[in-house]
Chains A and B, each alone.
Chain A
Amino acid sequence: DIVMTQSPDSLAVSLGERATINCKSSQSVLYSSNSKNYLAWYQQQPGQPPKLLIYWASTRESGVPDRFSGSGSGTDFTLTISSLQAEDVAVYHCQQYYSNPYTFGQGTKLEIK
């Protein structure tokens, strides 16, 4: 199974500042035949189901603000929020959909400093 490890476990950032969350997979999730990274990021607010933010490591889901961006390839990925807003307080999860069983990182809790 592919193990996904996020860092940090929690993060406190001031409003308007940049937030960066990292995700590392135990093996590459880059499919060579199409050059796509099978890596997604989800946002989960309290009491809510996860919401898809980013897929293919860097493609924003429709309706997601452009302050959210994803980067990385192979085994190392980053979710960046360029200017933190109050509504971005949530837990963020990375997930690989390269192979079954799908696996998630442990989650990163983002708070306002």
Chain B
Amino acid sequence: EVHLVQSGGGLVQPGGPLRLSCTTSGFTFSNYWMSWVRQAPGKGLEWVANIDQDGSEKYYVDSVKGRFTISRDNAKNSLSLQMNSLRAEDTAVYYCARDRYCDSAACYSNPLGPWGQGTLVTVAS
């Protein structure tokens, strides 16, 4: 069974850093892109970033470019999101999710899923 278990999160002051982690099991992690998605309180879902299967390609939503860094450790089946210069508007529940599948020939677009349980990040003084 596929599992994505998140850790990190919490209360941080504006301008501060925070690191989120997502540990996976039940699938071949190194064959998949991975994404981070967030949901501000009472709001809809916003895709934040994704990373290809070997960590060489990374994409971000404009609002976090230059502040957030997505990374992965295929040996540990884990995904991370380093968040710096945090702002009040970054307050949200953050989810990791499995993304597109890659084999030796190509990568294949997939919907996002499964998802981690989510972790709340609150940016406030």
Residues of A within 8 A of B (CB): 38, 40, 42, 49-52, 55, 61, 93, 95, 97-98, 100-107
Contact = CB atoms under 8 A, between A and B. Distances in A.
Interface in B33-66: 35, 44-47, 50, 59, 61-62
B44 A95 contact: no
A23 B98 CA distance: 23
B45 A50 contact: yes
Contacts of A102: 35, 47, 50, 112
Contacts, number: 55
A77 to B, nearest CB: 13
A9 to B, nearest CB: 10
Judged by DSSP, the binding face of A is loop
B111 A50 contact: no
A63 to B, nearest CB: 12
Interface stretch (B8-16, B24-32, B74-82, B115-123): B115-123
A42 B117 CA distance: 15
Given A49-B95, A49-B116, A102-B35, A97 B109 contact: yes
B45 to A, nearest CB: 4
A3 to B, nearest CB: 12
Given A49-B116, A52-B114, A102-B112, 13 more contacts: A42-B112, A49-B95, A49-B115, A49-B117, A50-B113, A50-B115, A61-B113, A97-B110, A100-B50, A105-B44, A106-B44, A107-B44, A107-B45
A93 to B, nearest CB: 6
Contacts of B35: 102
Contacts of A51: 113, 115
